[in-house]
Amino acid sequence: MSTERTLVLIKPDGVRRGLVGEVVRRVEAKGYTLAALRLVRATPDLLAAHYAEHTAKPFYPALVGYMLSGPVVALIAEGERVVEGFRSLAGATDPTTAAPGTIRGDLARDWGSNPIQNIVHGSDSPASAEREIAIWFPEA
Ligand code: DAT
Ligand code: MG
């Protein structure tokens, strides 16, 4: 692999609120290349693989319910240090305290519901990215 890749998910709240274009715009405006993009309905098995590190956490059932609540947009973004770069664009996990200027800081908030709804997922390391890309884009 010459260029680094990351997996971005626009979660069901992002799709429902019409924010697909805005998220993709930010990825493109930053200068990263889109290598693949698709609208997907997650399944419990797919989410168990994707969130393997979280399946034992108390918030996991609520997280799965949220991720199954509507379609998700999955995309692969490419570019030097894109994993770190997209995490920086996405902002902190908690949308209330995510910095203004970030996707979560600008577009997400606490709705008083479990789990945290924060619009996007971004892989947290190049190794996670390749693992997650194989789950969401088995042909890539
Ligand atoms: P991130 O998405 O910033 O990598 P993570 O991997 O720790 O965060 O958690 C995955 C998702 O699970 C996160 O985007 C929102 C949800 N989540 C994390 N911690 C939570 C908690 N304590 N309560 C409810 N939902 C949580
Ligand atoms: Mg994570």
Ligand 1, atom 16, lies closest to the CA of 116
| pLDDT at residue 2, as a whole number | 67
Give the ranges where 1-140 is alpha helix by DSSP (H).
Answer: 12-16, 20-30, 44-50, 60-67, 82-90, 103-107, 126-136
119 φψ region: left (φ > 0), alpha (ψ -120 to 50), beta (else): left
Q: Per residue of the chain (140 residues), what is the pLDDT tens digit?
A: 569 999 999 999 999 999 999 999 999 999 999 999 999 999 999 999 999 999 999 999 999 999 999 999 999 999 999 999 999 999 999 999 999 999 999 999 999 988 999 999 999 999 999 999 999 999 97
Pocket residues: Cβ below 6 A from ligand 1:
54, 59, 63, 93, 114-116, 118, 121, 124
Distance between Cα 114 and ligand 1 center (Å): 10
How far is residue 114's CA from residue 69's CA, in Å, rounded to a whole number?
Answer: 13
Looking at residue 119, which CATH number applies to its domain? 3.30.70.141
- Per the structure, the complete domain to which residue 109 belongs is given by 3-136
Ligand closest to 132 (CA) is 2
Supply the DSSP symbol for 53.
Answer: G
Calpha distance 9→129 (Å, rounded): 12
Task: Please give the tally of structural domains in the chain.
Answer: 1
Q: Please tell me the distance from the alpha carbon of residue 31 to that of residue 34, in angstroms, as a whole number.
A: 10
Distance 113 CA to ligand 1 centre (A): 13
